[in-house]
Structure 1
Amino acid sequence: MDAQVLPHRQRFSVDNNATGWAELVERLHALPIAAVGIEPSGGYERGIIRILLAAGLSVRRINPSKLRQFARARGILAKNDRLDAQLIAEYVSIMPTRVVQRVATAERLAEVVTMRRQLCDEHVTIENQAAHVEDAILRRLNKRRLARLKADIHLLDKRLAEIVAADVILAQRYELLTSMRGVGPTLAFTLIALLPELGQMSRKQIAALVGLAPYDFDSGKLKGHRCIYGGRMPVRNILYMAALSAARYNPALKVFHNRLAAINKKPKVIIVAVMRKMITTLNAMVRDNAAWQPRAA
């Protein structure tokens, strides 16, 4: 694991294991460190982040996509570990970043939510394949696989409920979120695990973080279509499914949906607007610690 310390551009490497992490903490404590930047690597970064936070260091998790954009803006096209360490250090020193807040229970919840999403994706893939399978043995095999995946997903749903019920703060957050009609267990668990910033940001910021902010596409006299872009796709995907239900069964959101339909907005534009309304309302509910009120939509 490569590290670079600014402004003196000190470089060193440590092993990416417990021994190396301890060495890293020791070396960082000997320096005037304001913040430590970490690039996510599919969950492999969790161990070092826990160690750094336990050592009292301020940690910033850097979005890999933004880091690459930062590199290109600097005219840097090459990519290697030493160069990444330099870019991360420069990014943290220049760009605004959020401090990582570790909540052990939320970390466990995020791990289970991620596994559940992977199993659901696998279930959809096999289900789609099964529709075109003709061989009898393959059909039986796919049927068993689908049954196993369904059972595993149900098991993880129970595990998610257990984790939340065992933590008073998370249980209160869960009850608050599910007070909105249309927010079921899956969306509530996902928001708690993958959107810890909920309630701490403005409505525009939380919409952008989920990828529901309409961005301009204009140039001169050209007025392009507003498009959403980026954000946390796992959260947005679950929110999309919840919005489809809420637009039909949540009275306030149904009125909102129908009002947009009456002025001939496109169906996908309408559902994205419902998603944005849901997440900004949930953000306000968490911020104010107030349960759902129909007039809020």
Structure 2
Amino acid sequence: MTDNSMICAGIDVGKSHLDIALHPSKGRLRVTYDPDGLKVLDAFLQEHDVSRIGFEASGGYEWRLLAHLRAGKRPAARLQPAQLRFFAKSRLKRAKNDRLDAALIALFTASLEQLPALPDARFDKLAVELTYLEQIEQQIALVKTFAETALSEAIKRRHLREVAR
């Protein structure tokens, strides 16, 4: 159940910026995803007395934010995209942009009775390697589909060589 006395932040992680939304207030912020932007983020969270933070796992882009929040004082959780997608569907919402995604993440974070713990820093290097392997597997599956649907034998062979590589 949502605790309306608790201020929660949702962060949508992008390659070059972070979009932050607060719940239940309507506070919003966009910062660059660099050390200066993280300082602005910290000041914003402090100013609004944020109790907990949720952010989406974003194919590896979230690692700097995870390390930054892990070193901070506020409870934070890295949320899985599937969790957020199903939550949005249950609310009949479809986020159309990063700011709306951040608001949805804040709402979902507020709805959680308990935040999932951030992963132990000792496993960061292993997790990065696993993310790399998962991304390669996804690329292979995509190129295999290209090969299966190619109308030209020459293009099909190119795709199969890429899979083999």
Rg comparison, structure with higher value: 1
Residue 65 of structure 1 corresponds to 82
Distance 2:61 2:51 in 1: 23
**Secondary structure at 2:117 match in 1:** coil
1:101 maps onto 2:156 in alignment = no
After the TM superposition, which residues 48-63 of structure 1 pair with which residues of structure 2 at under 5 Å, given as runs?
48-63=65-80
Unpaired stretches in structure 1, ≥5 consecutive residues: 150-297
Unpaired stretches in structure 2, ≥5 consecutive residues: 1-17, 148-152
Distance 2:137 2:53 in 1: 35
Higher strand content, 1 or 2? 2
Residue 13 of structure 1 corresponds to 30
Residue 292 of structure 1 corresponds to none
Distance 2:32 2:40 in 1: 9
**Partner residue of 1:115 out of 132, 144, 148:** 132
Whether the aligned pair in 2 keeps the contact of 1:25 and 1:52 (CA below 8 Å) is no
- 1:117/1:41 CA distance change after superposition, 3 Å: closer
- Output the amino acid matched with 1:28: L
Residue 57 of structure 2 corresponds to 40
1:178-207 deviation per Cα after TM superposition (whole angstroms, max 9, x unaligned): xxxxxxxxxxxxxxxxxxxxxxxxxxxxxx
**Secondary structure at 2:54 match in 1:** strand
Residue 43 of structure 2 corresponds to 26
- 1:120/1:81 CA distance change after superposition, 3 Å: closer
Whether the aligned pair in 1 keeps the contact of 2:31 and 2:38 (CA below 8 Å) is yes
- The CA RMSD measured in Å over matched residues stands at 3.1
Distance 2:129 2:71 in 1: 23
Whether the aligned pair in 1 keeps the contact of 2:95 and 2:101 (CA below 8 Å) is no
1:214-267 deviation per Cα after TM superposition (whole angstroms, max 9, x unaligned): xxxxxxxxxxxxxxxxxxxxxxxxxxxxxxxxxxxxxxxxxxxxxxxxxxxxxx
- 1:3/1:114 CA distance change after superposition, 3 Å: closer
Whether the aligned pair in 1 keeps the contact of 2:109 and 2:115 (CA below 8 Å) is no
- Output the amino acid matched with 2:48: L
**Secondary structure at 2:32 match in 1:** coil
- Output the amino acid matched with 2:90: A
Q: CA deviation at 1:117?
A: 4.9
Residue 230 of structure 1 corresponds to none
Q: TM-score, normalised by structure 2?
A: 0.66
After the TM superposition, which residues 137-216 of structure 1 pair with which residues of structure 2 at under 5 Å, given as runs?
142=161
Whether the aligned pair in 1 keeps the contact of 2:70 and 2:76 (CA below 8 Å) is yes
Residue 6 of structure 2 corresponds to none
Q: TM-score, normalised by structure 1?
A: 0.39
Residue 15 of structure 2 corresponds to none
- 1:117/1:63 CA distance change after superposition, 3 Å: closer
Q: Which has the higher contact order (CA 8 A, sep 6+)?
A: 2
**Secondary structure at 1:14 match in 2:** strand
- Output the amino acid matched with 1:39: E
Figure out how many residues of one structure are paired with residues of the other and give that number.
Answer: 136
- Output the amino acid matched with 1:60: A
Q: CA deviation at 1:118?
A: 5.0
Residue 105 of structure 2 corresponds to 88
Whether the aligned pair in 2 keeps the contact of 1:53 and 1:102 (CA below 8 Å) is no
Whether the aligned pair in 1 keeps the contact of 2:53 and 2:76 (CA below 8 Å) is yes
